Structure 1
Amino acid sequence: MTHVTTHVLDAGRGAPAPGVAVVLSDAAGEIVARGTTDADGRTGIGPDVLAPGEYALRFETGAYFAALGQETFYPSATIAFTLDERPHVHVPLLLSPFAYSTYRGS
């Protein structure tokens, strides 16, 4: 299992959000890894182990909604978070065309 996983749920459709491009970067803005959500809206991103510190996940929500023919207010959603010594962290994204929310998953 990769160190960071995510699950994108399209709350407006009540379904997973497949095909969302995701970029993991470190505190300096350097790209660590890229991924795309699968048919269930999930992806593991990055290496098996990351050093503790600050990271960010950028979700390309504009492209996702454009593919659905749906207007959206957010062309992307960036979630910054602090990684500690945990062997795994899950960062879900609940998405709609005009709002999004997140939480530290398990």
Structure 2
Amino acid sequence: MIHKSNDSIPRTTQTPSINHTMSITAAQIDAKIKEQLKDNYYQTIIEDTSNGCGLNFECIVISDIFKGMTKLARARFINKMLKDELEVIHAFSSKSYTVEEWANKRV
């Protein structure tokens, strides 16, 4: 937004935005997922791919809560769980598996 003062010199002002100085850790994401999944929690694998800056994460969530869900529904479920964290994170990718899918993938 540009404002003109009495001396007719244009001045710019910035509107306040979300505080992006807050850093998120893999441990915080893990704790949030465990808290949200409760009894349906099995395992998470979370990697900070921003060299510890807390801006980019890759996440694998293993839980039987995903049984019967499409990949899109699973991604939306994870994004909804981490809504507040995703406002601060620059890049986030997630993969989700049921316990059986994860066991078959690992073989």
TM-score by length of 2: 0.32
TM-score, normalisation: structure 1: 0.32
Higher radius of gyration, 1 or 2: 2
Task: Identify which of structures 1 and 2 has the higher relative contact order when contacts are C-alpha pairs closer than 8 Å and 6+ apart.
Answer: 1
